[in-house]
Every structure is written in structure tokens, then in C-alpha cells.
Amino acid sequence: MTSGMNFWDVPVWSFVVTMTILFAAMMIANTLRNLIKPLRKLMIPSAVLGGFIVLLADFFWKKLTGSSMFASSTLETLTYHGLGLGFVAMSLRSVEKTRENHLRRSAFDSGVLVVATYLLQGILGLVITVALYYLLDSFFASGLLLPMGFGQGPGQAYNWGRTYENMFGFVNGTSFGLTVAAMGFVSASVGGVVYLNVLRRRGQFTGETGNIVTDEDLTAHTITGKGEIPLTEAMDKFTIQLALVFIAYILAFLFMKGMNVIINTGAFGDFGFNTVQPLIWGFNFLFGTIFALLLKAVLQALKKKGVIKREYMNNFLQNRISGFMFDMMVVASIAAIDLSAFQYRKFIIPLVVLCVVGAAVTYWYLGIVCKRVYPGYRHQAFLMMYGMLTGTASTGIILLREMDPQFQTPAAADLVNLQPWAIVFGFPMLLMLSYAPQSVGKSLITAVVMIVLFVIMNLIALRRDIFKKKKKT
């Protein structure tokens, strides 16, 4: 007899079965959105709705059979890597350079505003969960999962929920983070619909929410650029795009693995194990972005020197790859929520308070600052920012399209160009994510530091408005 895996063994098919269930759920969700007008008007993305469909289906499946339809580790792996691979694909796109000062300034202001909102969500979260720690003995630092779930999305909510669960003893931390992210999508949809209806009553919005896209203006120029490699030759063009994404991502992995080797030597002491290590692996998407940019720079340099003759990067296909990765990340992250965690008071009360207060304050804050930071397109900017800072960038685009379907305002460009500034200004906050959960005292210190940073970010974002008032006086 020969030993080994048979084609009919469960492990051979389990991953394919899981992917099929997730794909089918998204297809069903998309069909329901197209058929049911009230559901379409809520503007909930198909991946989000599909995730809830899988979550409920798996709940009833467990009741009937006693086991899940799939391994939770598979869903969590898809969530983790979907975030990193999606960001790599986005970073490999070639971006047209603009010399218009107002667009560069707007991207800077948008990056600062995004970080200010992260900080506000983090401050709120810590104040709420530290208070509930004394009232209910809840995990005191779980409030930091609010900016991760709302501001950063399911990938980061999973990363840090898992880190808090494994390293700092936050029971059900993974499900807590993923649930915050799921409620963020609901908040984005509800808040966006409310805002558009307020504008409609004022006569500033006359469109219909959730319209079905019937046609797209696709030309050869939008699909392939000048001097690019052909769609099919010895190696398919889409295969090359995927290869570049995975090469950049594995380079990021090797770098993180190298850092991990250094940390494991004890060179950084407890700071390395408690702070640096979870920070590195929790921000796989950031290192993926860095190595994607480096890979792109190398290819551009080789082309300038004549080593390679054609353009290998294709924006249209990279957009499709990133869209696929983010859709898969979202549906898998919601499906991975453990509903059994909702029977614990220490879980459900902080979760409800965080999500309700977080959504309301984010809506209120952005309504105030967008009026001052974006005087020419405040409503479009609000929809983009609110959608992104409670859901993901794609949610922001969905809301923005309702009022600016042709992207005539700079709001869409701001969303793309703000990322480098958000990383630069947001880095100090990232360092505190592994510091706060070490003790209640450190959580309070983190809250104080965040308040100081929040004030600084607002002074920077509102500098022109402040100077105008000083000149008038």
C-alpha cells in the first residue's frame, strides 16, 4: 500500500468548498440587491451582505449537525492575507502625476483628517472600555478595536483582535474585532442613506440611492496602456499581474520573518515581544505596500535602462485583483464571527456601546470638519470620508458615487492620494496598539497621548480656517 493523500480525502476539497460557499453567498447577495429595491437603497456592498448570509447559514448548520460548514482558520487566513494582497495590488498601480497644488494640498489635508478620526475613535473606545472594565470587568483596551474595525476595516480588526486574544488574554477578541468591522459597514450604509436623505430634503440631492449600473464606459485605453505587454503570449498578462503581487508580498513576509528572528534573540527584550512583534505582523499590509512600491521602482528603473522593453504593470487588472481580494476579505471576515460570543455580557455590552457611539460621533465630527476642510465639495467629501472611516475605501466610493457618479469633484482623487500622509501621521498611533493592552495604566496613558495628537491633527487640518478667523479679528 502507498501512503499519502487521496483525491477523495476531505482536506483536498475543504478549501475549494469554503471558497465556493463564499462565492455563492456573494452571488446570492448581489442578486437580492438587484431584485429588492429597499435593500439596494441601503447600499450595503454585496460582500458584506454575503458575509451575513454565510454567518446565518453556518449558525443554523451548526444547530443541525453540530459542526461548522468550514474551518474558522481558513476564513481567518483569507481575511489576513486578503488585506495584504489587496494593498499590494493597489500599490502596484501606476498613478498619474499631477502638478496641481490644490490636489496635493487636498490629499495632505485628507490624510491628516483620516488620522484625526482614527484618534477620535481610539479615544472614545478607550474611555468607554476602561469605564466598562470597572463596571463589568470587560477587557480595558478593547476600545482600540474601534478605529481598527471602523477606520481600518475587517483585515486590521482581525489582526489586532487576534493579537489581543492570543497575547493579552482578551477572550473572544477575534470575534469582537470582526463584529466591530461588520457593524462599521452597517453604520456606513445607514449613515450614508441618512445624509443623502437630509440633502434631498434641502434640495441639494435629487438622485435615487442605490441605482443599478446598466453600462460602463470601457475602452481599450482603460483596459491596457501604451507600451504594455500583450494580453496573451507565452505567459498570460493576468498571470503576470498575480505573479508580481505575490512576489512583492513574499518579499514583505521575508522581511517580517527576518525581523522576527532578531526579536526572538531577545535583543529588544519584552518591548520586542509585547510591542514590536505584534506590530510587525499586524501590519502585514503596510510592509506589503512598501515592497510593492520598491518592486515597481525596480521595474521602472530597468525599463529606463533598456533592460526590459515593455510595461509589465496594468492598472485595470491590478484594480480587479485588489477588488477580488477585498471582497474575499470582507465576506470571509464576517463569516468568521463567532456568534456564541454574544451570550457573554462582557462581550455584548461594550460592543453595542462602542459601535453606536463610534458611528454617531464619527458622523458628527466629519460633518463639522468636512465643511471647513473641503469648502467646495463638502458633501461629496463627507460621503467618501464617512464611508471609508466606518467601512472600507470601497464603501466610501459607493457612497460618493451616489452624489458624484462621474467623480467630477476631487473627492475620489483624495481617497487615493491620502494614503502616504495617513501612514506618516498615523504611525505614532500604531505604536500604541501593542502598548495600551499591557495594563489599565498604559491604556490611560495611551488615551492622553491620543488626545494630544488629536488636537495637533485638528490644528493642522483646520489651519487655513483658523488663520482666516484671526485675520478677520
Q: Which helix (H) or strand (E) holds 254?
A: helix 237-264
Domain-embedded: residue 73: yes
pTM, rounded to two decimals: 0.81
The whole-angstrom separation of Cα 206 and Cα 11 is 53
Helix, strand and coil content of the chain, in percent to the nearest 5, comes to: 75, 0, 25
Owning domain of residue 130: 17-95+104-210+230-462
Domain-embedded: residue 224: no
Amino acid occupying residue 380: Q
Domain-embedded: residue 145: yes
Cβ contact 425:457 at 8 Å: yes
pLDDT of residue 397: 80
Domain-embedded: residue 325: yes
Cβ contact 318:95 at 8 Å: no
What's the number of CA atoms in the CB half-sphere (13 Å) around residue 323?
9
The whole-angstrom separation of Cα 20 and Cα 263 is 39
Cβ contact 173:204 at 8 Å: no
Decide: helix, strand or coil at residue 3: coil
**How many domains does the chain divide into?**
1
Q: What is the DSSP string of 312-356?
A: ---HHHHHHHHHHHHHHHHHHHHHT--GGGGG-HHHHHHHHHHHH
Q: Tell me the pLDDT tens digit for each residue of 76-128.
A: 899 889 988 988 988 888 765 544 445 567 778 888 999 999 999 999 999 99
The whole-angstrom separation of Cα 185 and Cα 91 is 24
pLDDT in tens, the chain (473 residues): 455 778 877 778 889 999 999 999 999 999 998 898 888 888 788 888 999 999 999 999 998 998 888 888 899 899 889 988 988 988 888 765 544 445 567 778 888 999 999 999 999 999 999 999 999 888 999 999 999 999 888 888 988 999 999 989 998 899 999 999 999 999 998 899 899 988 888 888 776 666 666 555 655 556 676 667 666 667 788 899 999 999 999 999 999 999 999 999 988 887 788 778 887 887 788 889 889 989 999 998 998 888 887 888 888 888 889 889 988 988 998 998 888 778 888 889 999 999 999 999 999 999 999 999 888 889 999 999 999 999 887 788 888 878 887 767 788 777 767 777 887 888 788 778 888 999 999 999 999 999 999 999 999 988 877 766 655 55
Among 214, 215, 208, CA closest to 41 = 208
Domain-embedded: residue 222: no
Domain-embedded: residue 5: no
Domain-embedded: residue 3: no
Q: Which helix (H) or strand (E) holds 93?
A: none
Cβ contact 385:370 at 8 Å: yes
Distances (CA, A) of 173 to 143, 152, 179, 182: 11, 16, 10, 14
Q: Tell me the pLDDT tens digit for each residue of 369-398.
A: 999 988 888 999 999 999 999 988 778 888
pLDDT of residue 232: 67
The whole-angstrom separation of Cα 467 and Cα 102 is 18
What's 265's DSSP letter? T
Other beta carbons less than 10 A from residue 209's beta carbon: 18
